[in-house]
């Protein structure tokens, strides 16, 4: 709670609680890792109890209108009797009741037995289903690397936002180049203006017509 209060105080615009990828909250949520036999284990209601308690405490420690969301894994990717999309949807419903404003939908990371079927936009379908069933703002992730690909996810309503990981690691100026693909322009710091493609005659990545 103290960290959340400090985040607001120093000027952060949003807080996201990480409840995915095998970290503590995900370990409570998944029956693969949560083998407790007390009120914090066993059935879904028990496994959700601790993550929901923490979310509620954080929500109550910051201003009511301050954006607060959760990153969650939609599935463990290890078959039956595990954390899956149906349970993730139920968890999302409970989070929304407590004032969660968005869900950042990823998957996996909780077991070495996982068998992930990965590929371009491979997790966008999870975000789409949670957006539909929970009726909440969603963020799609997972091998989203191209501007048109990202635009398609948002334009077709699969998610309200996308986050770019690998694409930004490969190309730290991804957002600038994506804007140019759509014949738009991002503001450049003066220190970078001399390197703009229009000034040095280089082709714009992803847009060979310009």
Give catalytic residues, as residue numbers.
23
Distances in Å between the alpha carbon of 59 and those of 56, 96, 101, 120?
A: 5, 11, 11, 34
Query: Please, where are the H alpha helices in the chain?
Result: 2-9, 24-29, 44-61, 85-97, 124-134, 147-155, 166-170, 174-181, 190-193, 197-200
Q: At what angle do helices 174-181 and 147-155 cross, to 10 degrees?
A: 70
Distances in Å between the alpha carbon of 159 and those of 27, 44, 129, 143, 185?
A: 26, 26, 9, 15, 24
The token pair that represents 43 in the structure block: 């059935």
């Amino acid at each position: 709670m103290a960290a959340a209060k400090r985040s607001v105080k120093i000027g952060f615009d949003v807080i996201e609680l990480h409840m995915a990828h095998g970290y503590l909250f995900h370990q409570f949520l998944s029956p693969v890792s949560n083998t407790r036999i007390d009120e914090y284990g066993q059935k879904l209601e028990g496994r959700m109890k601790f993550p929901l308690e923490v979310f509620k405490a954080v929500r109550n420690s910051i201003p009511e209108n301050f954006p607060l969301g959760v990153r969650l894994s939609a599935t463990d990717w290890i078959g039956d009797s595990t954390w899956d999309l149906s349970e993730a949807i139920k968890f999302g419903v409970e989070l929304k009741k407590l004032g969660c404003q968005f869900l950042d939908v990823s998957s996996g990371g909780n077991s070495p037995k996982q068998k992930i079927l990965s590929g371009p936009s491979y997790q966008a379908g999870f975000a789409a289903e949670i957006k539909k069933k929970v009726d909440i703002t969603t963020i799609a992730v997972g091998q989203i690397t191209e501007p048109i690909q990202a635009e398609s996810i948002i334009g077709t309503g699969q998610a309200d936002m996308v986050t770019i990981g690998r694409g930004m690691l490969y190309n730290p100026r991804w957002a600038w180049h994506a804007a140019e693909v759509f014949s738009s322009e991002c503001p450049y710091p003066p220190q970078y203006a001399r390197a703009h493609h229009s000034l040095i005659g280089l082709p714009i990545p992803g847009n060979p017509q310009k």
